[in-house]
Structures are given as C-alpha cells and as structure tokens.
Amino acid sequence: MKKALGLEGIVATETELSHVDGQRGELIYHGYSADWLATNHSFEKVVYLLWNGHLPTQEEANQFRAAWVSNRSLSPFLHRLLEELPREMEMMDVLRTVVSAQAGGDKFWPPRWEQGLSLLAKIPAIIAYRYHFLKGNPYPKERSDLSHAAYFLYLLQGIEPNPAHVRALDAYFVLTVEHGLNASTFAARVVSSTRSDIFSCVTAAIGAMKGPLHGGAPSEVAGMLDEIHEPSQAGQWIRNRILAGEKLMGFGHRIYKTQDPRAQALRQVAKELAGKEERFQLALEVERVALDVLQELKPGRNLYTNVEYYASAVLGAVKLPRELYTPTFTASRIAGWCAHIFEQAKMDRIIRPQSEYIGPQLKNKNQSL
C-alpha cells in the first residue's frame, strides 16, 4: 500500500469555499470560476463571497466596504511595535508578530468576521508603515476612498495609484485569495480546530506562508526575468538552463496538469496592459519562447505556465519591492485563511491525523518493572 507522506492525496475535510481541479485546470470559489471573478468583480466582493456564500448586493457591498475602511487604522501601540522590532526582521516575521500582538483582550471563541476584517484591512498599513520606517520615509496620510489594492499601492508609493497598476494588482489579489487546502490554509484550520482564537490561526498560517516552498516562488521568477532582460535573449537563456538540468521557475505545477486558470487570467491582464508596461511585454515574450523550448526539449511533459510566473510579472510591473512579494501574497490570502477558519469553527471537530511508527521495536518487553 502506497503511503501518503505529506498527506498528499488525503481528504482531510469538506469545504464549500473552493474547488481545485488540476486535471481540468479549474479553480472555483463558491460556484464561480476564479478567472471570471477576477475579470468581473473586485477583491472586496470576492472576499464577501468567500465569507458569506454569495456575491453581495450593492447595499451589502457598501456596508462591507464601510466596515473594511473603518478598520484600516493602526493603533499607537502597533505603531510603536512596528518601530521597536529589530531592523533585521524580515517582513513576514513582522507580520506574524504584529498579527499575534492584536489578540489581547478579544473574545476567544468562536471567531467573528469582524475580527477577520480587522486583520485583513490592516495588512497594507502594517507592511507600508514598517517599510517606510526602515527607509526613513514619511508615512502617507490615511485615505478612505481607495480599494484594498489601490490603498496598498498608495501607502507604499505615497502617490495616486496608477489605474492600470490597481487593475493588475486587484486581479492578482482575487486569483490568490484562496486555493484549497494548501500548507498555510491547513495550518490555519488545524489551529482553528482546537478552538483557538483567530489571531493564533492567522499567525500559524503566516508561519507556513513564510516558507520558500510555499510563498516565495514569484521572487525567483523575477530573478529569471531580470537575467533574461531582453526578449531576444530568452531562447538561448532558457535552452541553457534546461540543458544544464536546472529548474525553469514559473512553469509546471504540483496540482495543475493542464493550464493554470490563475495564470491564464493574469496573462489576459498582462496582454491588456502590455502597451503600458515593459515588464508585461517581456513576460509575454519569455513565456512564448519558454513553452516552445520546453515542448522541444521535454516533449510530453505537459509543462504549462503557473500562477507564480504572472504573479511575478504583475508585482514587478506595479513597482513593488521584491522583498514585499510574499507579504503582498499574504495581503490577499489572509482573506482565504479567515474563510477557512470560520468554516472550521462551524464544523467544531479537532483535526488529529495519525502517524505510522517506524522506530525500533519494544526493547524492554520481557524486563521486570
């Protein structure tokens, strides 16, 4: 009997939140395809869908947005904490610490959507405040008229966000908000299953997201695009990489055995904005060449572009610092974690898998006590 090490292929729970079909290349959020949602709805409405099971009416959307905006501000305590943490701490460590620090005095169980919204709404401010503090830059004045994506860009850059950049980042947020029982989501559900508080659940998820096997791939794709630099150099660079036996970042996926629907949606965004952003032009050309070379050198392998490839293109095009790629992923996925935390709390059953013992057999069986 084949062992499912790492729980691969094991069904650990039931969920109404999302369905990942790797064979058909589909990603569904509560009955809607993720790529359709990215084209037709904002990140805020998709979060409402995940948390409530249906897309909001206009009145519901307005009320949800008002609650979202009212939770954006950081307390003086959080400002002091962000300034006093060691300067060498990476941003994911900062997020983990600051999220955990918000738990004091709040109701323990069950988790409430107001708590999730408070965490989600504050993530852009936490990242931006810490970033500007380390750089010695002034922190931009708070605003209430911007979407989650636009506010994130405004806080980091201190200027009116470029509409094309907002469009691209919002699509990225929608397409990365939820993806089944991945490592960070599973971590959040395990902690939630113990009846622990939402802050502990999200802290655990951030710890999992920090790992380079989970949240770090777009940064590696960015390095590849930087090295290629010009479309004319793509063919030889990619060929040399593959012939040397090295992995081509941004191609192939553990789950999807056909087109990654998230990559397809972000590719469409890249095509729409390619005339305005050189990074998108480069990404589109490198992808075309890479797929041709992969087909030639690795026939039959079904290696397609994955979401990390175009995530890197989007985050680079909107001028985000590379050290903020994984924190930006977190600014989206935290909404999906919260959806799973709420769902797990309703199930109210502890997650407790078993392990198979492969250590030494009992050595003192016949010895007297």
Sheet holding 32-33, edge to edge: 18-21, 26-29, 32-33
* Residue that the structure tokens 């990603």 belong to: 27
Q: Vertex 207, ends 201 and 212: CA angle to 5°?
A: 145
Give me the long-range contacts of 343-351 (CB less than 8 A, separation at least 24). Answer: 343/15, 343/16, 343/17, 344/13, 344/188, 344/189, 344/192, 344/193, 345/109, 345/110, 345/111, 345/192, 345/195, 347/13, 347/193, 348/195, 349/193, 350/193, 350/194, 351/12, 351/13, 351/189, 351/190, 351/193
Active-site residue, 253 included: yes
- CA-to-CA distance for 71 and 150, rounded, in angstroms? 16
* Residue that the structure tokens 């620090």 belong to: 101
Strand segments, DSSP code E, in 30-156 are: 32-33
Q: Is 33 helix (H, G, I), strand (E, B) or coil?
A: strand
CB 294 within 8 A of CB 242: yes
- Options 44, 178, 277, 308, the catalytic residue: 308
- Options 253, 277, 287, 340, the catalytic residue: 253
Question: Which residues carry out catalysis?
Answer: 253, 308
